[in-house]
Chain A
Amino acid sequence: MFEARLLQGSILKKALEGIRELITSGNWECSSAGISMQGMDPSHVALTVLMLQNDLFDQFRCDRNVTLGLNHATFSKILKCAANDDIITLKAEDQPDECNLLFQSANDDKTSDFIIKLTDIDQETLGIPDTEYAATVKVPSVEFQRICRDLSQFGDTIIISVKKGCVEFSGTGEIGSAKIALKESGNVDDDEKVSVEMDKDTPCSLSFASRYLNYFTKATSLSDTVTLQLCPEHPLVVSYDIGDNGSLKYYLAPKIEE
């Protein structure tokens, strides 16, 4: 028996908005530790990894591991029936072929009860090696969303360059080119600030497809800040924390010079 109750139901709604356009369906693995889901887009350029730890939920029970094979368009349609301040409960039997979703309104005068049919998804799980990142950059998530949107008007590639105390985003194309530089700001504890941490002082610069970065920024509402981790010739990691007990992470393969 699996049952998980999320007081902040909006977390699930927002997570689905950040997932459904990249991966059409996925296995949501439920264990005593929490719920995790990972999947790649069809062209194997971006990997999406969702982690919702058990203490994100105010009630969490998972007697035996349960796999919920979910179609994300359907799941999203059902979640759209939930208000942002609804309490959402997920329930499933062992070896389930359906999942029960319960939405309770904040003032408890409305409850909605949905059953979603599960699908068999044979999806290999990828091992993500630990990587020493040359640079870890934190920027306000809305700022990053705006930069990706603005620069993608110039072309299909966005170059992210990090050097001491500064991160630069640039794009070039037929109409011209653009470069946006963010300086590390003073007190980095405030959510609205920029922080740039470098492993060594060697600058690094990588190119990425702007289309995917714009998919990732659909998760912006999950967190005030977004973390970018770069390492030469390695995938970019774009992370949105979900409170202190969860995250939605994206791994994007770089564009390699000829």
Chain B
Amino acid sequence: HGHQSSLDSFFRKK
């Protein structure tokens, strides 16, 4: 089922 993505590619650090 593919590889686990990371939230870092979706959310920017403020």
Contact = CB atoms under 8 A, between A and B. Distances in A.
Given A127-B12, A128-B11, A129-B11, A255 B2 contact: yes
A157 B7 contact: no
A258 interface: yes
B14 A126 contact: yes
A207 B2 contact: yes
A85 B9 CA distance: 42
Interface stretch (A42-50, A55-63, A103-111): A42-50
Contacts of B6: 43-45, 253
Interface residues of B, number: 14
A64 to B, nearest CB: 21
B4 A253 contact: yes
B4 A255 contact: yes
Contacts of B10: 129, 234-235, 251, 253
A256 interface: yes
B11 to A, nearest CB: 4
A257 interface: yes
27 contacts: A44-B6, A45-B6, A47-B7, A47-B11, A124-B14, A125-B13, A126-B11, A126-B13, A127-B12, A129-B12, A159-B1, A209-B4, A234-B10, A235-B10, A251-B11, A253-B4, A253-B6, A253-B7, A254-B5, A255-B2, A255-B3, A255-B5, A256-B3, A257-B1, A257-B2, A258-B2, A258-B3
Interface of A: 40, 43-47, 124-129, 157, 159, 207, 209, 234-235, 251, 253-258
